[in-house]
Homo-oligomer: A and B are copies of this chain.
């Protein structure tokens, strides 16, 4: 008595990628609803099953769809925007400014659709994403019919979809609540990376992932610089650091892991973390060579990812699989390392496990979802075909197949591509809309190509300050009072310095460029002798932000960079329209008041002579924290005897240039 399935695929060379690597040279597979109900030799399956739809695969390879273990799909719209640049110039000069200007729900949907089309064409059935507006990524992914783990980004910097991390955390919670238990989408939370998150963010995202039992997707040890900085600042490598802050209590997907040691591998293994190795990205950005062979030997589930198409520049898993094998061989000095079958496993069964989807997809086994691709391995560039050894088929796929050899793709029992024709997406429309977007971005970048910010960033080493600066400034008629009152039990003085500040302010034709400040600090000892000098460049925006409390101004992020060249160099490089010089004598205390650190500056403007001023400042990544600090600033003003002193809301440069 034969059973009935929905679809029967016959006359295929089946690579199951299951635990025993079963192959069926003339095999068949039966699918009902979302699932695989039988897989085996054609004769056996045919005798057991009949189906409404019977498809002859013409001897092609039938195998599980590929798992793209790490990407940022909407960045497809930024492909080829800027290449061959150092990471800081690429990221801060191009990616971040363009993302802030353009990334919206519409941008994200278009980019996701375009990426899904490309991924389906290249045999990917599941991807693991990290981006903004992940709710909209989810909608576009479902429309395309693909399976995905989608992580809503949380980080300390302002994001296109959130001015602060508190907003991102809320978005992540809502996203997870809304999409939990969807048949295609696994919602997740993505603290961007240890260096871009505060310990508080790491803990909160881990708690969120645990609360809903969803994956947590994070970048780990991508560059040597990241690891060095971590060791310098916290005395430990990256994996122990995230463990300390609770990350490993969640189901982690760790992208990159280029610079981790064997102790860190054991820690990740013990935590059940999955890894995504991203060879193209690691090579193109010169991040280094991930210890793939060692990670595999340690027992970790290592998947393979394309990373975002702005650093790859495509979503071609065939290229990544080949590179994963090639690079591992070269780095190990051993051509037998990561053989074809292992590389293909990383992109299928092991990749699914790395995404914590091992029970759902990644191999052709009864009960798993029908995520299936057909690959033609007899085109010109892959002829002839040897069949002596079962490994020949894996070698063909890994060492000579192209993504363009994929002819048919099914996800969750539903066809997304038949004979190279996409069934769920309109390619022509997508290409047209993408090109419109590229034109707008081109225009935006041409306009700002000559901007002061981009030139500052091009110098390298520039950093963005914390988002929020809480600050107050008052005119002081009795400076001695401040110096005296600061010595009281409620205020703990952590550090005190005395220096002369020489500031040169550059301004430009276009006011929107803001002002660039070149500052040299001459540090003085008790006798008034210069002991040390420091200089830095800071770009100050024109627009200052809203008041958060009486007398307290909340300003937005600024860029600064160490100034390693002379004032003359910077004048020639930035070509300012005007230069104004200010010299002041500054007494600067770093204090702690009610468990919060502040800088207190008591300034005497020497050149041009303009009297004494008191500044109280603090920076933070959190708006909630900023509001709390604003209150404390007002208390401090009172403690220092300046409650009624006249407030100055202008910067010194504005104050001085607008004085009569």
Q: Chain A: residues with CB nearer than 8 A to chain B?
A: 76-77, 79-81, 83-87, 90, 114, 117-118, 121-122, 280, 282-289, 309, 312-316, 319, 325-327, 329-330, 332-337, 339-340, 378, 380-388, 391-392, 395-396, 399-400, 402-404, 427, 430-431, 434-435, 437-438, 441-442, 445-446, 449
Contact = CB atoms under 8 A, between A and B. Distances in A.
29 contacts: A77-B384, A79-B383, A80-B382, A83-B340, A83-B395, A84-B336, A84-B391, A84-B395, A85-B335, A114-B380, A280-B326, A282-B330, A284-B329, A286-B334, A286-B335, A287-B330, A289-B330, A313-B400, A314-B399, A378-B431, A380-B427, A380-B430, A383-B434, A384-B431, A384-B434, A384-B435, A385-B435, A388-B445, A402-B403
Contacts of A288: 330, 333
B431 A380 contact: yes
Given A335-B284, A386-B441, A381 B83 contact: no
10 shortest interchain CB distances as A-B pairs: A384-B438, A84-B339, A283-B326, A313-B399, A384-B434, A83-B395, A286-B335, A283-B330, A313-B400, A286-B329
Contacts of A337: 286
A337 B83 CA distance: 11
Contacts of A286: 329-330, 332-335, 337
Given A79-B382, A118-B380, A286-B333, 18 more contacts: A79-B384, A83-B340, A84-B335, A84-B395, A122-B381, A283-B329, A284-B326, A286-B330, A286-B332, A286-B334, A312-B399, A378-B431, A380-B430, A380-B431, A383-B434, A384-B438, A388-B449, A402-B404
Of the listed residues A117, A286, A315, the one surrounded by the most CB atoms of chain B closer than 10 A to its CB is A286
Given A333-B288, A402-B402, A391 B83 contact: yes
Given A86-B335, A336-B86, A435-B384, A400 B283 contact: no
Contacts of A431: 378, 380, 383-384
Nearest to A76: B383
Contacts of A326: 280, 283-284
A288 B326 CA distance: 11
* Most B CB within 10 A of own CB, among A79, A80, A121: A80
A327 B283 contact: yes
Given A335-B84, A380-B427, A442 B403 contact: no
A386 B84 CA distance: 15
Contacts of A396: 80, 313
B400 A80 contact: yes
Nearest to A335: B286
B399 A83 contact: yes
A435 B79 contact: no
A384 B437 contact: yes
Nearest to A84: B339
Contact of A380 (B121, B333, B339): B121
A341 to B, nearest CB: 9
A216 to B, nearest CB: 28
A309 B121 CA distance: 25
How many copies make up the complex?
Answer: 2
A340 B286 CA distance: 14
A443 B85 CA distance: 52
Given A326-B284, A399-B80, A380 B442 contact: no
Q: Which of A383, A396, A430 has the most chain B CB within a 10 Å cutoff?
A: A383
Nearest to A287: B330
Contacts of A382: 79-80, 314
A615 B314 CA distance: 67
Nearest to A427: B380
B87 A335 contact: yes
A523 B381 CA distance: 56
A84 B332 CA distance: 13
Contacts of A285: 329, 335
A319 to B, nearest CB: 7
Contacts of A325: 284
A380 B76 CA distance: 10
A517 to B, nearest CB: 29
Nearest to A284: B326
A339 B122 contact: no
Contacts of A385: 80, 435, 438
Contacts of A81: 386
Contacts of A114: 380, 383
Q: Name the residue among A76, A388, A445 with the largest chain B CB count within 10 angstroms.
A: A388
Contacts of A434: 383-384
A657 B387 CA distance: 42
B381 A316 contact: yes
Contacts of A283: 326-327, 329-330
A434 B383 CA distance: 7
A256 to B, nearest CB: 13
Given A84-B340, A335-B87, A384-B434, A395 B329 contact: no
Contacts of A86: 334-336
Given A80-B392, A86-B336, A380-B431, A442 B387 contact: yes
Contacts of A388: 442, 445-446, 449
A381 to B, nearest CB: 5
A383 B115 CA distance: 10
A430 B438 CA distance: 43
Nearest to A384: B438
A281 to B, nearest CB: 10
A218 to B, nearest CB: 22
A385 to B, nearest CB: 6
Contacts of A118: 380-381
Contacts of A437: 384
A300 to B, nearest CB: 21
Contacts of A395: 80, 83-84, 313
Nearest to A336: B84
